[in-house]
Amino acid sequence: MPSYLTPGVYVEEVQSGARPIEGVGTAVAAFVGFAETGPFHEPTLVTNWDQYVQRFGGFTEGTYLAHAVYGFFANGGGSAYVVRVGDPARRAAAGASAPAVGAPAPVAIAGFLFSALPGAGGEVSVEIADAEGENVPEDRFRLLVRRGGEVAETFDVSTRKNTKGYVV
């Protein structure tokens, strides 16, 4: 209620109280791969499996993008960006029914440049190993990416949501 103590000056005190800070999502999933349909080299937001199928098509033999996106949504994923890679010129020359595979142009996502290397697929393998250290929780493990038999990258990951290194 305003207080009228001086003519022309009105003071009203408002109860403000502490307001909670609302949480916002900081994790964004992104998938890059080959798909039947959809725009090339353009990050597209999808929020469920049906929307993915409508935009990019279903499962395609010899590719794993649809499998990865399906697993993401089946395990409680909320929203993800999908980038379809491939060579649109090669697909147009081969006909609409041909899969768009080949050496794609690099794709820029969030300041990072992604590209698929032709011919490297047969030399790359991924292994799962026990996490190193003592008293390691059961949900922790290590992914080893091998190129030509040599370990190229390692990732310490977890299957528990809301932990560092969470993977699906």
What type of residue sits at position 86?
G
89 lies in the same domain as 166: no
pLDDT of 100: 47
- Residue 9 belongs to a domain: no
- Residue 19 belongs to a domain: no
131 lies in the same domain as 91: no
| Final residue belonging to a domain, choices 96, 116, 136 | 116
Q: Which domain holds residue 79?
A: 26-116
- Residue 158 belongs to a domain: yes
Per-residue b or e along 25-50, where b marks 16 or more CB atoms closer than 10 Å to that residue's CB: eeeebebbbbbbebebbebeebeebe
Query: Which residues lie closer than 8 Å to 143 by C-beta, 6 or more apart?
Result: 126, 127, 128, 129, 154, 155, 157, 167
pLDDT one digit per residue (tens) for the chain, 168 residues: 555 666 777 777 777 777 676 666 667 788 988 898 999 888 899 999 999 999 999 998 888 899 999 999 999 888 899 988 876 665 555 555 544 444 455 655 545 555 555 554 556 677 778 888 888 777 888 878 777 778 888 888 877 777 777 665
- Residue 10 belongs to a domain: no
- Residue 3 belongs to a domain: no
Whether 73 and 49 have beta carbons less than 8 Å apart is answered as yes
* Count of domains forming the chain: 2
CATH of the domain at 54: 3.40.50.11780
112 lies in the same domain as 42: yes
112 lies in the same domain as 39: yes
Nearest-angstrom CA–CA distance, 80 and 44: 8
